[in-house]
Amino acid sequence: MSDSEQFSLFNLPDSNGSPPSPPQASPPLGDLALIPTSAQVPIPPGTFQTMADLQEPCSHCQRCELGQSRTHAVIGRGNPQASLMLIGEGPGQHEDEQGLPFVGKSGQLLDKILASVNFNPAQDVYICNVVKCRPPGNRKPEPPEMAACLPYLLEQIRLMDPKLILLVGATAVQGILGSKIVGKAGISKLRGQWYTWQDAQGKERLCMPIFHPSYLLRNQSREKGSPKWLTWQDIQAVRTKYDELVF
């Protein structure tokens, strides 16, 4: 066999220098490596196989400017196979330091609220946030930051496929249900009711807005009609719906 015949056995560039086109596999999912570089890069459904797969791209994500000041990206905690998902606003200082959501004072109260109706925070829920990186000084995330991060959250929802979603505070309501509904009414009006939200796949999902635990910490009254009292009604309604749907 001549040298040139032997060369032709390998897929080397032909005489005009262009490499042979690779066989067409399944449709391209986009370049995983590009996702953290710009909010313009889409994150199509199916990009991630497990919740853990989000950790690596989020840990060096620069889709928005929150990437410049974070210590740790915060993906989630709890059980990704659970039926109840909680979505908060974004990491605070403790969450940024530990890389886990709701581990500060708000998180301790949230765990108590869940435990009050026998939800085990490690087994029965998965907890995450609208934005994965801490906004400096705990300001609210800006709409472009929420938009840049939303496709990660939509992948988390697709992967988990929760039966019920709790939108913890006004930012989560805005992030999922949209500012139209928030514009119509504040969280005090929206909380405690189930809304049907169509996810990225067109699947209808039941979501309930509840007060943010940081708001409850600032409003300690337990009187009838107070935020704490209302949240107690809400979490009991969540337990009832969960027992209907999950058992």
What residue ranges bind ligand URA (CB under 6 A)?
A: 88-92, 95, 101-102, 106-107, 129, 169-171, 187, 211-212, 215
- The smaller minimum CB distance to ligand URA, of residues 90 and 192, is found at 90
Q: In this structure, what token pair is assigned to residue 234?
A: 């809400």
Nearer to ligand URA, 46 or 140 (CB): 140
Closest distance of CB 160 from ligand URA, Å:
17
CB of 99 to ligand URA, least distance (A): 11
Identity at 69, one-letter amino acid code: S
Distance in angstroms (rounded) separating the CA atoms of residues 68 and 133: 9
Q: Which is nearer to ligand URA, 47 or 74 (CB)?
A: 74
Q: Which of 96, 229, 245 is nearest to 165 (CA)?
A: 245
Q: Residue 23: is it exposed, middle or buried by C-beta count within 10 angstroms (0-12/13-18/19+)?
A: exposed
Candidates 154, 247, 136, 237; CA nearest to 202 is: 154
Min. distance of Cβ 220 from ligand URA in angstroms?
A: 14
Using the minimum distance from each CB to ligand URA, give the nearer residue, 47 or 167. Answer: 167
In the complex, residue closest to ligand URA by CB: 88
As a whole number of angstroms, the distance between CA 8 and CA 210 comes to 66
Provide, rounded to whole angstroms, the least separation between the CB of residue 67 and ligand URA. Answer: 17
